[in-house]
């Protein structure tokens, strides 16, 4: 059973499906979560505090997902390809994650504004962490890169560069999705739907193979 805090974040996230963040009311979020409005303010302090907590949770969930993908037994190239594939597919279905990865926050999203200077620190440890801010796109990519390099047992520069190159390749698909073929009638092509981007996977995997072959041609042979 989720805690009151998780229930509130789940309710706020669900509200974003049909409403822009500016139209999401705290009283409605509290009601949907089955808690009092006072509990909401005790947890987050304000609507802005809830926005920071919601975005912080999404950043954490992404990094935890990267860890889960990397934990599956597979050759290094396949592991990194899996991380790239997972990143692209998750970004398509999770708008807040897409904004975190690209830095493009639309009006519908809870863009995390910094906590007000001089504001009293929250009594809730999780909220203090959220109020401290979320990683920038470069920071988030760097954290994912470091996790990948550690999982592949390589702290050498070549491994880190390979991991970063693969993640930047994935990010390019997030920023500029592959267009699908023009539908009958000659209409312009449309962006891929989340379920239909998978035909790009062979291309992505081929590029990843190239990245590894270039970065592992040195005598050190860092990655087998």
Identify the pLDDT of residue 189. Answer: 44
Identify the pLDDT of residue 117. Answer: 80
165 falls within a domain? yes
Identify the pLDDT of residue 115. Answer: 82
176 falls within a domain? yes
Identify the pLDDT of residue 15. Answer: 94
- Per-block average pLDDT, block size 10, for the chain (224 residues)? 93 94 96 96 95 96 96 87 89 92 90 82 94 92 93 75 88 74 46 45 66 50 38
220 falls within a domain? no
54 falls within a domain? no
109 falls within a domain? no
> Residue 71: which domain range?
62-103+135-180+189-215
Q: What φ, ψ does residue 211 adopt, rounded to 5°?
A: -60, -45
Identify the pLDDT of residue 60. Answer: 96
Identify the pLDDT of residue 200. Answer: 54
Identify the pLDDT of residue 204. Answer: 65
Number of structural domains (the chain) is 1
123 falls within a domain? no
Pull the structure tokens for residue 209.
């193979």
73 falls within a domain? yes
30 falls within a domain? no
Cα(204)–Cα(166) distance, rounded to whole angstroms? 9
């Amino acid at each position: 059973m989720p805690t009151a805090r998780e229930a509130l974040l789940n309710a706020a996230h669900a509200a974003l499906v049909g409403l822009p963040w500016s139209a999401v009311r705290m009283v409605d979020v509290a009601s949907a979560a089955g808690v009092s409005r006072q509990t909401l303010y005790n947890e987050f302090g304000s609507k802005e505090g809830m926005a920071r907590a919601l975005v912080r949770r999404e950043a954490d969930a992404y990094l935890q997902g990267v860890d889960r993908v990397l934990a599956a037994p597979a050759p290094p190239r396949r592991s990194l390809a899996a991380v790239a594939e997972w990143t692209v597919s998750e970004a398509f279905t999770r708008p807040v994650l897409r904004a975190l990865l690209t830095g493009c926050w639309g009006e519908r999203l809870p863009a995390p504004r910094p906590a007000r200077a001089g504001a009293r620190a929250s009594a809730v440890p999780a909220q203090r962490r959220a109020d401290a801010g979320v990683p920038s796109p470069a920071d988030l990519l760097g954290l994912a890169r470091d996790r990948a390099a550690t999982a592949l047992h390589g702290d050498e520069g070549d491994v880190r560069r390979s991991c970063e190159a693969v993640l930047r390749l994935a990010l390019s698909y997030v920023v500029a999705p592959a267009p699908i073929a023009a539908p009958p009638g000659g209409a312009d092509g449309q962006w891929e739907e989340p379920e239909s981007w998978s035909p790009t996977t062979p291309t992505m995997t081929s590029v990843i193979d190239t990245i590894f072959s270039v970065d592992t041609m040195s005598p050190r042979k860092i990655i087998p």
